[in-house]
Structure 1
Amino acid sequence: MAKAAFSELHRHEKYERLIAAAQRLPALPTAVAHPCDANSLKGALEAADAGLIKPILIGPQNKITAVANDIGRDLSGVELIDVPHSQAAAEKAVEIVRSGKAELLMKGSLHSDELLGAVTNRENGLRTGRRISHVFVMDVPTHPHTLFITDAAVNIAPDLTAKRDIVQNAIDLYAGLGLGKPKVAILSAVETVTPAIPSTVDAAALCKMADRGQITGGELDGPLAFDNAISPTAAGIKGIKSPVAGQAQILVVPDLEAGNMLAKNLTFISNADAAGVVLGARVPIILTSRADTVRARMASCAVAMLLAHNRRATAPIRA
């Protein structure tokens, strides 16, 4: 009985809606860097089967074809660019994006640092004026709304300037997915500004930056503890009156360690799926983990694809 009830609850309607919305749009060419294990290659090919991406596979041809044979997939009709190793794959994938041949970048079986090192290269990378950051788009079965958690994968101990970009990247993603104006909670351990806890001071500063137009497009409040951010009951008990408290859609963590533990807690204890995307570069970067479910991999592609199409639609016309 309990298992049946949980199964009914754990239906992932939020991800289904994201994927369905993406499937109504044309698939985008995607540079897939070093898909040399079963999970990464299968994820790219299944996203292609679903009409989300048009993969350009980049890596050692013999390894990729061997993996394809192992998983029973035919690579006929799929573009494959042969390079000798993972670093060359990362650099080539970035080059393909810079040339305009691909509109998305997807991580294969190489380490995230290797791919992001090529992305952030000052001469040949995909840098913009914005700090790159990661967002987990989380489908938590026991929570009514999709939760965005940032940054839990790229910036280890961001300063206030980096946090400003982290917040703005997440707001732009939320709006780019057509979800409207987000409620953004700047998380800490407590909900009062306490100089002994530096993250509370940063939270207050970020909220004032939003008041002054240095962060736009979202409603910010902080510092807020996690319970006060997502639970109206907890916020009410603490007497916190705010349009964000208890209703937050974006959760901005103080550092990578806190964010990583929060996301993995929700994944492994609350059975959440966590789609991952890196923002702040010229194109969205699909960053998946070996432990991701098929549904999470598909949702990562859908999120990146929806954002890229939104950017297409809002890009200024150049003479």
Structure 2
Amino acid sequence: MLIENRTFDELKVGDKAELNRLITADDLLVYANVSGNHNPLHIFDQDGDGDGRPEAMAPGSFIGALLGAVLGNVLPGAGALYRAQNAQFHARVFAGDELVIGVTVTDKNERETTVTLATEVRRLGDGALVLSGAAEVLAPRRKVSYNSHDLPGLVVQRHRHFEKLLKRAEPLAALKTAVVCPEEPNSLGGALKARDHTLIEPILIGDTDKIAEVASAMGVTLDGVEILHEPLHRNAARKAVELVHEGRAEAIMKGHLHTDMLLRPILDKQTGLRMGRRFTHIFVMDVPGQPHPLLVSDAAINIAPDLKTKVDITQNAIDLAISLGIEQPKVGVLSATETVNPDIPSSIDAALLSKMADRGQITGGLVDGPLAMDNAVDIAAARTKGITSDVAGQAEILVVPNLDAGNMLAKQLTYISHAEAAGLVLGARVPIILNSRSDDDMSRLASCAVAALHHARMSGKQG
């Protein structure tokens, strides 16, 4: 878009300009970080005045700063410099309000080439006056025309999708969960925090002395928490399986032990928790900037899955996505290319999975493949490649060719794209919450929320 400024000689008293701006919670987070003003009144999930609800109120200085967009971009435009500004505030602005920011030239000073403008901000809808005042600017002398361009982008590292999952899981009964070997701060702290959020009712299984020592070092109490003494990791994992068979546990949560040691008794053909479908791991990822959660499977269990295993991987992921509130999940089956290439086995598997879904062998979602990563998640890339599909460019589930690809993708999203990842294993009688030792509190909470939501739907307890 071509933008032109208005030079001092071109400006006339009575000239007007205005812009509209929708205020979002992310705007207020960005402003808090840039300005250093961390007043909780302005933060979307904080209660700054003690009335029991978050305010997400825009700071007055933020509203005043919006005038700069009109003055710097439109009237006078490029080259304008502030000399002075005064403002009076008449109403408060909150996230979700849309504003009309306007300026009107009221005076020109020939000697100093300054312009005075009346400034006004109103709330769109009810027309309420938010701000009134005046600004004095040094007007540009030289005509400038340019094409508008995007500034370097900002992505707010707020994990709104996980926040919604936690809120959705709040009304559910706490999931009775066997927590295996929570013998270090992350695993114990995650279980206790999930208990505090009423997501799970933990039964701690492990070395009671180690668990107590960790709790003491963390300064937390274990009052009211059931603890079963099983100092050997393999016995603790077996005990978790026994609790499921006894009906005392509705989920299993990994603590501070190796994944293969946890899964070994669960996979036992005689005494384990098999249900006929392959065990598959699913990352539920909250990627900043993405409009929906992104599910990635399988990135932790099946190393080189064949077509039959990929059917279970796909079906498990669809089932979980539905539990999270995605009515008809869109599944992109990934390969290196979006066309079938006989020399690339993953492209053939992807095409077969897509056709199997068409024929009802995979149900509950829309499946398309092969898709490359770009045209699976970016609609513009899909259109550039000429792909017409209900899935391409808007996939909510990504089925990867093998564990290598899935693990690399999930870690790239986590460590480069700043995503949070919840981890769950499906295919057993109960959900298995599989966190990494490096996962933070939000990841652990989200994993418990995901498990609770899936268990509630599959057991018919979801309201």
TM-score normalised over the length of structure 2: 0.66
Alignment of 1:189-208 (within 5 A): 189-208=336-355
What CA distance in whole angstroms lies between the structure 1 residues aligned with 2:187 and 2:271?
A: 25
3-state DSSP of counterpart to 1:158: coil
Alignment of 1:233-272 (within 5 A): 233-272=380-419
Q: Which stretch of the first structure deviates more once superposed, 221-230 or 24-33?
A: 24-33
- 1:7 Cα offset (Å): 8.3
Which aligned segments of 4 or more residues in structure 1 are displaced greater than 6 angstroms? Answer: 5-8
- 1:209 Cα offset (Å): 1.1
What CA distance in whole angstroms lies between the structure 1 residues aligned with 2:169 and 2:396?
A: 21
Contact 2:186 2:440 in 1 (8 A): no
1:73 matched to 2:216? The reply is no
What CA distance in whole angstroms lies between the structure 1 residues aligned with 2:156 and 2:186?
A: 27
Structure 2: unaligned runs, 5 residues or longer: 1-29, 35-152
Amino acid at match of 2:204: L
Contact 2:430 2:455 in 1 (8 A): yes
Please say which structure displays the higher CA radius of gyration: 2
Partner residue of 2:4? none
Choose which of 90, 99, 106 in structure 1 pairs with 2:237. 90
Choose which of 185, 188, 198 in structure 2 pairs with 1:38. 185
Question: How many residue pairs get matched?
Answer: 315
Contact 1:87 1:114 in 2 (8 A): yes
Choose which of 129, 135, 152 in structure 1 pairs with 2:282. 135
- 1:58 Cα offset (Å): 0.3
1:172 matched to 2:338? The reply is no
- 1:314 Cα offset (Å): 7.3
Partner residue of 2:90? none
1:56 matched to 2:197? The reply is no
3-state DSSP of counterpart to 1:247: coil
What CA distance in whole angstroms lies between the structure 2 residues aligned with 1:2 and 1:280?
A: 45
- 1:8 Cα offset (Å): 7.1
Partner residue of 1:121? 268
Amino acid at match of 1:16: E
Amino acid at match of 1:268: Y
1:244-292 CA distance string (max 9 Å, x none): 0001000000000000000000100010000000001001110001111
Contact 1:142 1:270 in 2 (8 A): no
Contact 2:341 2:347 in 1 (8 A): yes
Contact 1:177 1:310 in 2 (8 A): no
TM-score normalised over the length of structure 1: 0.96
Amino acid at match of 2:220: R
3-state DSSP of counterpart to 2:357: helix
Partner residue of 1:209? 356
What CA distance in whole angstroms lies between the structure 2 residues aligned with 1:226 and 1:8?
A: 20
Choose which of 20, 25, 33 in structure 1 pairs with 2:167. 20
Larger strand fraction of residues: 2
Contact 1:133 1:166 in 2 (8 A): yes
**C-alpha spacing 1:64/1:144, structure 2 compared with 1 (3 Å):** same
Q: Which stretch of the first structure deviates more once superposed, 131-140 or 64-73?
A: 64-73
Q: Which stretch of the first structure deviates more once superposed, 205-214 or 243-252?
A: 205-214
1:151-207 CA distance string (max 9 Å, x none): 001100000000000000000001122221101000000001001100000001111
1:112 matched to 2:259? The reply is yes
What CA distance in whole angstroms lies between the structure 1 residues aligned with 2:181 and 2:296?
A: 27
User: Superposition RMSD on alpha carbons, in Å?
Assistant: 1.6
What CA distance in whole angstroms lies between the structure 2 residues aligned with 1:189 and 1:26?
A: 43
Partner residue of 1:151? 298
What CA distance in whole angstroms lies between the structure 2 residues aligned with 1:4 and 1:248?
A: 32
3-state DSSP of counterpart to 2:249: coil
Amino acid at match of 1:308: H
Amino acid at match of 1:256: L
3-state DSSP of counterpart to 1:129: coil
What CA distance in whole angstroms lies between the structure 2 residues aligned with 1:69 and 1:179?
A: 41
What CA distance in whole angstroms lies between the structure 1 residues aligned with 2:157 and 2:171?
A: 24
What CA distance in whole angstroms lies between the structure 2 residues aligned with 1:55 and 1:104?
A: 10
| Percent sequence identity over aligned pairs | 57
- 1:73 Cα offset (Å): 1.3
What CA distance in whole angstroms lies between the structure 2 residues aligned with 1:217 and 1:38?
A: 39
Contact 2:298 2:313 in 1 (8 A): yes
Partner residue of 1:303? 450
1:274 matched to 2:424? The reply is no
Structure 1: unaligned runs, 5 residues or longer: none
Amino acid at match of 2:211: I
What CA distance in whole angstroms lies between the structure 1 residues aligned with 2:340 and 2:158?
A: 39
Amino acid at match of 1:75: L
3-state DSSP of counterpart to 1:9: coil
Amino acid at match of 2:381: A
3-state DSSP of counterpart to 2:460: helix
1:10-65 CA distance string (max 9 Å, x none): 21110000001111111111000111111100000010011100000001111111
What CA distance in whole angstroms lies between the structure 2 residues aligned with 1:146 and 1:127?
A: 28
**C-alpha spacing 1:194/1:115, structure 2 compared with 1 (3 Å):** same
- 1:84 Cα offset (Å): 2.2
- 1:90 Cα offset (Å): 0.5
Higher relative contact order (CA 8 A, sep 6+): 1
What CA distance in whole angstroms lies between the structure 1 residues aligned with 2:351 and 2:32?
A: 43
Partner residue of 1:231? 378
